[in-house]
């Protein structure tokens, strides 16, 4: 990636060769506490490390002497065709990474022809996302809170904004221990304490955007609390069961995905309840440390879920080759989170565009080198996980 004073930040974003380049740019632009909020995970961060490392164990078995002059990446998910098997996953406090926040991510997803999922903990309303990307396929992610009436109000807002896919996250009965955030004393919005003053000197562009932009606040839940874990434990309901999921199913008219599945038997029970899809996910390692590694668990969940329930993978995806490996192992598509947040921190909307362009180019190249021809040609005969 080019360096030196003659290269503007926009030029460096455009020249990024992979997501790791954008991660480095993000670390330079954003204050440490903001970067670490994205980059970090729970406790010793073993779940995060293992999720990423699982893709390093992937070994491809390419076919040769196949016509790969064309390598289509489009795939059908939940009855609708998208440009590639990628979903931009839900992330909280997105305008903390860049002032353009969720609106920028939704616009980039719309241009790329992939879905975008707005988080309950987002900093833009469902209506705001719909206005920013009216032709995009916008989904909504739900945390079930203690106040069931508020949950119904949230579902109504999402539906009124045209969102027809609901992603219910079920792996946050209580807040995980994200120690980087604890050590930084992270608040939303970030506060300019004495450490913050030093960070402002080192990252003036981010602080200028933050101080001159729209005030940062939660758009679906009220307020901007001092204690993030405290908000989670106050609002989210640790008593949620499969019965509550049936209640949500009855209240929501669109497609329903359940995110946070970490056991094959849970996937089987969810499929029996009639959910449209399950997302194999350990919340990016941000909740229970030492939890299941999504890529390793994927084949068992695919087998348990059966043919009528679509299975998605979330966790550790950093490249188009990762996407190809997950799809070959049975995923319908991959949720991507940190990767696009690195792009957003590094270069705003253009950074998200760059991440999506990289993922597609890497996916096309991998399909061609695998002799798969296209996404539809991916299968378990093309990939295996090497022994640890």
* Positions marked active-site: 283
331 close to 296: Cβ distance less than 8 angstroms: no
Nearest to 160 by CA among 138, 142, 135: 138
Nearest to 97 by CA among 3, 189, 168, 225: 189
Residues 6+ apart with CB under 8 A from 337: 88, 89, 90, 91, 284, 314
Tokens of 84: 């590639």
Give the whole-angstrom CA distance, residue 275 versus residue 313. 16
Distance in angstroms between the alpha carbons of the first and the last residue of the chain: 32
Residues 6+ apart with CB under 8 A from 60: 325, 366, 369, 370, 382, 383
Cα 384 to Cα 52, 55, 59: the distances in Å are 16, 10, 5
- Burial class from Cβ neighbours inside 10 Å (0-12, 13-18, 19+) for residue 273 reads middle
Tokens of 275: 């959910």
Give the whole-angstrom CA distance, residue 172 versus residue 234. 12
Residues 6+ apart with CB under 8 A from 204: none
Nearest to 383 by CA among 361, 365, 366: 366
């Amino acid at each position: 990636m080019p360096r030196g004073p003659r290269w503007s930040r926009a030029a460096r974003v455009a020249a990024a060769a992979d997501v790791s380049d954008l991660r480095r740019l993000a670390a330079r632009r954003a204050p440490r506490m903001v970067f670490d909020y994205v980059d970090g995970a729970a406790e010793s961060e073993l779940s995060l490390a293992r999720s990423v490392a699982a893709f390093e164990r992937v070994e491809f078995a390419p076919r040769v002497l196949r016509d790969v002059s064309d390598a289509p990446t489009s795939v059908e998910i939940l009855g609708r065709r998208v440009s590639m098997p990628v979903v931009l996953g839900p992330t909280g406090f997105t305008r903390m990474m860049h002032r353009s926040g969720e609106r920028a991510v939704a616009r980039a997803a719309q241009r790329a022809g992939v879905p975008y999922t707005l988080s309950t903990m987002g900093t833009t309303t469902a209506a705001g996302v719909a206005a920013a990307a009216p032709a995009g396929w916008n989904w909504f992610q739900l945390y079930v809170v203690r106040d069931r009436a508020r949950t119904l109000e949230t579902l109504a807002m999402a539906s009124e904004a045209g969102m027809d896919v609901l992603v219910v996250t079920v792996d946050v009965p209580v807040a995980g221990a994200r120690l980087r955030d604890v050590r930084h004393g992270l608040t939303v919005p970030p506060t300019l304490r004495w450490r913050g003053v030093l960070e402002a000197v080192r990252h003036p562009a981010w602080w200028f955007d933050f101080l001159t932009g729209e005030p940062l606040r939660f758009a679906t839940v009220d307020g901007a609390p001092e204690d993030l874990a405290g908000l989670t434990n106050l609002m989210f309901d640790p008593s949620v069961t499969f019965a509550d999921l049936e209640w949500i199913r009855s209240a929501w008219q669109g497609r329903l995905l359940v995110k946070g599945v970490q056991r094959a038997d849970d996937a089987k029970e969810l499929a029996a309840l009639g959910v449209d899809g399950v997302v194999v996910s350990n919340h990016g390692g941000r909740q229970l440390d030492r939890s299941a590694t999504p890529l390793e668990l994927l084949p068992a969940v695919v087998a348990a879920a059966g043919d009528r329930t679509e299975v998605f993978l979330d966790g550790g995806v950093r490249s188009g080759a990762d996407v190809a490996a997950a799809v070959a192992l049975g995923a319908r598509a991959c949720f991507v989170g940190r990767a696009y947040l690195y792009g957003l921190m590094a270069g705003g909307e253009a950074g998200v565009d760059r991440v999506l362009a990289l993922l597609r180019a890497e996916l096309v190249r991998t399909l061609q080198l695998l002799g798969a021809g296209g996404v539809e040609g991916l299968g378990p005969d093309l990939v295996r996980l090497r022994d640890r």
